[in-house]
Amino acid sequence: MSHTRHIKCFERDNRLSIKPIKDIAKLLRNDRILGEPTRLLIMILLYLNIRMKFTDLQKILGLTAGNLASHLKKLRESGYVNVRKTFLLELRTTTIVEITKNGARRLLEFMGSLKEILKLVHQETH
């Protein structure tokens, strides 16, 4: 009796071309800011809410303050968000993060490109 296990090999689905995968890779390479999942989530949250408190973003995303600050710095340097300190109820300072018009425009362009790629994948698999 042989103890050799038969491993099923997965075959490539020939209905799906490699083009959508290459398109996604190109999209992510061309925009290293939005191509990073955490920054993309930050931008989506800000697009939906326009502005949010730093602490709310931190809680929702489950990030450390330092990690979130690092992502926001890159987004700010790219002109996608504004970060400002303000007084909340005159008691303490609060950091507010707000999406810029440029950031909203760029996010919509990025998501539009991703949508077109996903539509192609869907067409090829159905």
Can you tell me the distance from the alpha carbon of 63 to that of 46, in angstroms, rounded to the nearest whole number? 16
Quick: pLDDT tens for 14-55: 555 677 677 777 777 777 888 899 999 999 999 999 999 999
Q: Which domains can be identified in the chain, with CATH numbers?
A: 19-125 (1.10.10.10)
Average pLDDT of the chain is: 84
Residue 65 has pLDDT above 90, yes or no: yes
Can you tell me the distance from the alpha carbon of 93 to that of 85, in angstroms, rounded to the nearest whole number? 6
Write the burial class of residue 97 (CB in 10 Å: 0-12 exposed, 13-18 middle, 19+ buried).
buried
pTM of this prediction? Answer: 0.77
Quick: pLDDT tens for 80-95: 999 999 886 667 889 9
